[in-house]
Amino acid sequence: MNKLKGRDLLGLADLSAGEIQELLHLAAQLKAGQINLRCNKVLGLLFYKASTRTRVSFSVAMYQLGGQVIDLNPNVTQVGRGEPVIDTARVLDRYLDILAIRTFEQKELETFAEYAQIPIINALTDLEHPCQVLADLLTVQECFGSLTGATVTYLGDGNNVAHSLLLGCALMGMNVRIATPPDYQPDRGIVEQARQIAGRSEVTITDDPVAAVKGANVVYTDVWASMGQEDLAEARIPVFQPYQVNEQLLSMADSDVIVLHCLPAHRGEEITDEVMEGLRSRVWDQAENRMHVQKALLVSLLGAD
């Protein structure tokens, strides 16, 4: 994976299909304990949004590699007091080896990448969540042995996870269907980019959850109101109710369907308890795989000792 050393990961389209497959292979090896790599570097976490899985999985991954983690909480650093991004980026570039950022605007991430020479990782923006979808791809591969030709159906809001799923599935030769209410479809530019990447695989945007689920190998959902939209959550419930992942909807999918959710989940809204705790749920494997994929990503961007 030396070809990734020193690069940024701002979105999934920064990677080729071959590079994603190599990352997944490395993650699988690390997860199985087949290889033991060391990376004595310092990772900075600059998170403007709340986080459980991303924060903990990156931290544990770096500690297990022998490195160190610095939590750059905006509330206790100068970035929270309005220090310009270009100044913060150039200073952190001289202290850290790599920086993962969770923020709102994709443009802020791009500014960090422009002014810092160290690798910058998108740990979530309003546009994309690439690290999540790398873990999703590993989970699907573990379940089915291959990604090519698998059909992934995402139900809910056309948000950052939907965007990264579109790009990730298109890159890996998978069919991807995004089913959302008409006014909540994903970004048209991302959809067009995914269609250009996809080649022969299917990229479908629809408002029909039943048609989207028919024959699907993977049914995926996320909260109906993302971080920063909590005040809209209650009003969205009746709009999104037909997109709830429940047993009735799952009965229309492939008989071997698996269910994914990037968490946190609002049980009883976008997914039922019955499905979340059911035999088809791979939610906890998916969450664990965040750590293994991010460990592979850190090694690839920094190099191993």
Are 53 and 101 part of one and the same domain?
yes
Quick one: 168 and 282 in the same domain? yes
User: Is-cis flag, bond preceding 264, omega within 30?
Assistant: yes
Could you read off the pLDDT of 80-94 as tens digits, one per residue? 788 999 999 999 999
Q: What is the pLDDT of residue 295?
A: 98
Mean predicted confidence (pLDDT) in 47-76: 95
Token output for 250: 């799952």
Q: Are 157 and 275 part of one and the same domain?
A: yes
Same domain, 124 and 184: no
120 and 264 in a common domain: no
Helix (H, G, I), strand (E, B) or coil at 45: strand
Residue-wise pLDDT for 197-228, tens only, equals: 998 999 999 999 999 999 999 999 999 987 67
Q: What span, in angstroms and rounded, lies between the C-alpha atoms of 36 and 206?
A: 44
Which pTM does this prediction carry? Answer: 0.96
Return the CATH number at 184: 3.40.50.1370
For residue 205, give the 3-state DSSP assignment. strand
Q: For the chain, where are the alpha helices, taking DSSP H only?
A: 17-32, 53-64, 85-95, 106-115, 130-144, 160-171, 188-198, 209-213, 233-240, 247-250, 273-276, 283-302
Number of alpha helices (DSSP H) and beta strands (DSSP E) in the chain: 12, 9
Q: What is the pLDDT of residue 2?
A: 72
Q: Which domain holds residue 225?
A: 132-286
Q: Which residues are catalytic?
A: 102, 129, 132, 222, 262, 290
Q: For the packed helices 160-171 and 17-32, what is the interaxial angle rounded to 10 degrees?
A: 100
Same domain, 93 and 218: no
Count of domains for the chain: 2
Average pLDDT over residues 255-282: 98
Q: How far is Cα 141 from Cα 293, in angstroms, rounded to an integer?
A: 13
Residue 139 and residue 277 share a domain: yes
3-state SS, residue 229: coil
Pairing of strands 203-206, 218-221: unpaired
**Residues 164, 77 within the same domain:** no
Measure CA of the first residue to CA of the last residue in the chain; give whole Å.
13
Residues 122 and 175 in one domain: no
Measured distance CA(75)–CA(81) in Å, rounded: 8
Same domain, 107 and 170: no
pLDDT confidence bin for 1, thresholds 50/70/90: low
Residues 179 and 216 sit within 8 Å (Cβ to Cβ): no
Question: Residue 305: its pLDDT value, please?
Answer: 76
Instruction: Tell me: do 162 and 253 sit in the same domain.
Output: yes
- Cα 53 from chain centre: 11
**Shared-domain flag, residues 11 and 122:** yes
Residue 42 neighbours by CB distance under 10 Å: 16
Per-residue pLDDT reduced to its tens digit, 157-185: 999 999 999 999 999 999 999 999 999 99
